[in-house]
Amino acid sequence: MAADLSAPAWTGRDDGPGPEHLRWHHVVGHDPAAGPYDAAFVGFRSDEGVRRNKGRQGAAGGPAELRRALSSMALPRPLRALDAGDVAVTDGDLEAGQHRLGAAITPLVDQGVPVVVLGGGHEVAYGSYLGLAGTRAVREGARLGVLNLDAHFDLRDDVRPSSGTPFLQMARDEEARGRRLDYRVLGVSQPSNTQRLFRTADELGVRYLPDTECGPFDLPRVDAFVDAFLADCDLAFLSIDLDVLPAGSAPGVSAPAAYGVGMDVIERVCARIAASGKLALCDVAELNPDLDIDARTARAGARLIHRILTARG
C-alpha cells in the first residue's frame, strides 16, 4: 500500500476501560493484516492542486487536523478502523500522487472496507476516483455514482489538473472507457460558478441542486435528490468539499461560502447515503488549518466522517 506515513498519531480523552468508554483513538490500528476492519482511513497531504488553481494554500495540513478532531469523538458501538497512512505530494508531481492514492484505495475497497480519504485540496477527488475505477466491482460492471457536496462544480477545463478540474477528468476517463460519468452536485453556488461551468455541466448531463434549494424547508427536495442518486448506482462515491458549508461553520477553507448549506442538511445527506449500504468511499477536502477558527472546520469535517461511519446500513 503506497503510504508515506505508516502510523499517524491518534490520541485523545480516555474515560476508562470497556466498550462504554470507546472513542475513535481507541479503535484505530495500523496493521492491515490485523483485520477485519469496519472502516479505513487514507490521508492525502496535497496543496499542489490548490496552488495550481490559484487558491489559498494550507490544505496539506488537513489530514492531521481531521484525525485530531475525530480522535476523541465517542463511539455509539464498538468498531475497528485501519489507518493506512498518508500519500503526500511534496515535489509538485500531483499526477503521480493521485495515482499513488488510487493504488492505496483499490485493495481496501476490494476487501469490502468503506474508505474515508482525508484531504487535502479537492484534487483528492480524482485520486479517489482512480482508486474506485480500479476496483473489482467497477471492472465487472457495477454502476458508479459520484455525488459532490460542494459550492463548485470543479469542472474547469485547464491545461494542468488542479483542485478545480477533478470531475472533468473523471468524465473524460469514463468517456474513454465507453461510459458516461454519473455526476451530481448538491449545494452548488451560482455566484461561484461561471456560465461556462454551468454549460459544461449541462453538456455532461450533470444533475445539481443549488444551495438556495437546500435549506431546512427544502428537505423533501433534498431527500428526493439523494434517493434518485442512490437508485441509479450500485457503488457510491461521496466527495465532501467543506466549502459547501456556510463560512460560520467552515471558515478554514480556501473559498469560504457566503451562503452555503447548513450542517444539519449536509449531515442528513451523509447519513442517508451511508445508511444505503452503497457507499464505497468518501473523501473530505479543502480543510485548511491555517485559516481555521477554533478548529470549527476540522470539527465539522470530523463530525461528518463520524456520522458516515456510524450510520452505515
Mean pLDDT of 10-28: 93
Residue 262 has pLDDT above 50, yes or no: yes
pLDDT of residue 7: 56
pLDDT at 2: 43
Closest CA to 302 of 229, 245, 219, 218: 245
Is 243 labelled a binding residue? yes
Domain locations in the chain as residue ranges: 19-310
The answer on whether 234 is annotated among ligand-binding residues is: no
pLDDT band at 67 (very low <50, low <70, confident <90, very high): very high
Residues 6+ apart with CB under 8 A from 159: none
83 is in an annotated binding site: no
Provide the angle, in degrees to the nearest 10, between the axes of the packed helices 62-71 and 296-310: 60
Asked if residue 242 has pLDDT above 90, the reply is yes
pTM above 0.85, yes or no: yes
Residue 24 pLDDT greater than 70, yes or no: yes
Q: Give exposure, 167-201, as e/b (b: 16+ Cβ within 10 Å).
A: bbbbbeebeeeeeebbbbbbbbbeebbeeebbebb
What is the pLDDT confidence band of residue 127, given thresholds at 50, 70 and 90? very high
8, pLDDT greater than 90: no
Q: What is the pLDDT of residue 9?
A: 75
Q: Is 1 exposed, middle or buried (0-12, 13-18, 19+ CB in 10 A)?
A: middle
15 is in an annotated binding site: no
Residue 154 known to bind ligand: yes
CATH of segment(s) 19-310: 3.40.800.10
Residue appearing with cell numbers 473489482: 136
The pLDDT tens digits for 294-306 are 999 999 999 999 9
- C-alpha grid cell, residue 130: 482512480
**Banded pLDDT at 312 (limits 50, 70, 90):** low
- Is 21 within any annotated ligand binding site? no
Query: Mind listing the pLDDT tens digit for each residue in 157-181?
Result: 998 999 999 999 999 999 999 999 9
Reported confidence tier of residue 4, pLDDT bands at 50, 70, 90: low
Arithmetic mean of pLDDT, 246-262: 96
How far apart, in Å, are the Cα atoms of 49 and each of 41, 127, 278? 21, 12, 29
pLDDT at 96: 96
> Quick one: pLDDT at residue 35?
85
